[in-house]
Chain A
Amino acid sequence: MLSKRIIACLDVRDGQVVKGINFEGLRSAGDPGALARRYNREGIDEVVILDVTATIEKRKAMARTIGAVAQEIFLPLCVGGGINDEAHADSAIEAGADKVSLNTAAIARPELLTALARRYGSQAVIVAIDAKREAGAFRIYVRSGRQATDRDAVEWAREAADRGAGEILLTSIDRDGTKSGFDCELTAAVSEAVSIPVIASGGAGTFDHFVDVFTAGRADAALAASIFHYAERAVVDLKQHLAGRGIPVRL
């Protein structure tokens, strides 16, 4: 049976892993290569690097970070954060990323998803969606959650899949950094609407939150950051917890 994936997110700024609450208030969590090495040892299924200060000047520094992480793992590696054209995606992939995730740029220029899918295959193209509950729907925000759009998360997820995205990285802005659990309603709504995998993100605080998002939330994978950063063995313990609840995982 296909395993539910556990993905560690490294939010990187200036070559260091940081983690914020509700997209703000960043604090340092250490060296990306060292964390990746530990996660690999603990049995993480995949690693995502998010460049939280992506600017053109920082691209070279980011390529070094991607290389340092890629050196430590023989697992799928996704890179996102400020990727806004093919050249930027190329530089991430050349540095060792297997997948790139697009957020603001995909909303602004959806044809970028198609162009990258043609070039690298859909499996290499992830659309990142940051959604917030508003008036009974899930509104998409861009620019790291700072700018509202008029797009609905479920409707955009369908379009992105049609345009060539191979997976959806779905973050609940309401839950991000709160440790109060994933937004299972949001995740299930998107997951049932598309035939591509959905990675749930935002709100992981306990192991049972993962159980919930894989059952009620219909998630194919779940991503977290701080729950793994600050506790040794968290990945192993989490997977054993999930296996004990009948959820297929790679042990």
Chain B
Amino acid sequence: MIALVDYGAGNLTSVRKALRHLGARFATPATPAEMAGASAIIVPGVGNFEATTALAPDWRDRIAAAVAGGTPLLGICVGLQWLFEGSDEAPGVAGLAAMSGTCALIRGDEYDGFGRFKVPHVGWNSLHVRRDSWLLAGVREGDQVYFTHSYAAPVTAACVASTRYGVDFASAVQRDHVAGVQFHPEKSGAVGLRILGNFLEQVAA
């Protein structure tokens, strides 16, 4: 059973729909203790990094312990940002620190020839695949996925795909059994379902 962590940061309907479509067995535990024995953990999230304060310290400790024990973890959107040490969006709030680095506001002085540079970054943008990973198996260079965010994670050794919007940021990260995507795989058509499916294969493996 996969634990889909609902910490009140937005709406999980689309994530649930995609997981059901892929045949995953999942539940949203009401307390951190209910996560015991989960085959994998998904931390979704939209909006503000500050919302992840709801994960600390109880959820965070449980998730850290599960990950240390080898449980696969997927962070989506703010869930990816939470895998890092923190975010400029909420400087006092610590992330899981499974990846090193801090998330920052997307800087946009790059004029793209169509009009003013906008933040948030909303819409479909391309994945630049930086190295092979189980997370992006079957994903082709330039495949597009759906984003909606203002802050982003830095490109580090953990980055398996980056996306350019003003700056290059980490759109997908993966280290061992810990992975994160800045985009919304549940709203990214066939490419997104493929990536979610790749995570589910890790759960079965």
Which residues of A are at the interface with B, using a C-beta cutoff of 8 A? 1-5, 40, 45, 70-71, 74-76, 93-94, 96, 98, 120-124, 166-167, 188, 191-192, 195-197, 214-215, 218, 220-221, 250
Cβ contact within 8 Å between B46 and A74? no
Restricting to B56-115, which residues have a CB under 8 Å from any CB of A?
112, 114-115
Q: How far is the CA of A151 from the CA of B202 in the complex (A)?
A: 54
Q: Which residues of A sit under 8 angstroms from B11, Cβ to Cβ?
A: 93, 98, 120, 124
Q: Which residues of A sit under 8 angstroms from B146, Cβ to Cβ?
A: 45, 75-76
Q: How far is the CA of A45 from the CA of B125 in the complex (A)?
A: 11
Q: How far is the CA of A206 from the CA of B48 in the complex (A)?
A: 40
Question: Pick the contact of A96 from B17, B120, B121, B184 — CB < 8 Å?
Answer: B17
Question: Pick the contact of B48 from A70, A74, A121 — CB < 8 Å?
Answer: A121
Q: Which residues of A sit under 8 angstroms from B144, Cβ to Cβ?
A: 3, 250
Stretch of B35-43, B174-182, B186-194 on the interface side: B186-194
Smallest distance from the beta carbon of A152 to chain B beta carbons, Å? Answer: 19
The closest CB in chain A to the CB of B190 belongs to: A74
Which residues of B are at the interface with A, using a C-beta cutoff of 8 A? 9-11, 13-14, 17-18, 21, 46-48, 112, 114-116, 118-126, 144, 146, 148-149, 164-165, 184, 186-190, 192-193
Q: How far is the CA of A214 from the CA of B10 in the complex (A)?
A: 31
Q: Which residues of A sit under 8 angstroms from B149, Cβ to Cβ?
A: 123
Prevailing SS type, chain A contact patch: loop
Cβ contact within 8 Å between A74 and B18? yes
Q: How far is the CA of A238 from the CA of B192 in the complex (A)?
A: 23
Evaluate whether A121 and B124 lie within 8 angstroms (CB atoms) in the complex, with A166-B148, A195-B116, A218-B115 already known: no
Cβ contact within 8 Å between B124 and A3? yes
Cβ contact within 8 Å between B48 and A250? no
Q: Which residues of A sit under 8 angstroms from B21, Cβ to Cβ?
A: 74
Cβ contact within 8 Å between A120 and B115? no
Cβ contact within 8 Å between B122 and A123? yes
Cβ contact within 8 Å between B124 and A220? no
Q: Which residues of B sit under 8 angstroms from A96, Cβ to Cβ?
A: 13-14, 17
Question: Pick the contact of A74 from B118, B124, B186 — CB < 8 Å?
Answer: B186
Q: Which residues of B sit under 8 angstroms from A215, Cβ to Cβ?
A: 114
Q: How far is the CA of A54 from the CA of B11 in the complex (A)?
A: 23
Cβ contact within 8 Å between A196 and B124? no
Q: How far is the CA of A227 from the CA of B69 in the complex (A)?
A: 54
Q: Which residues of A sit under 8 angstroms from B46, Cβ to Cβ?
A: 120-121, 123-124
Q: How far is the CA of A221 from the CA of B146 in the complex (A)?
A: 13
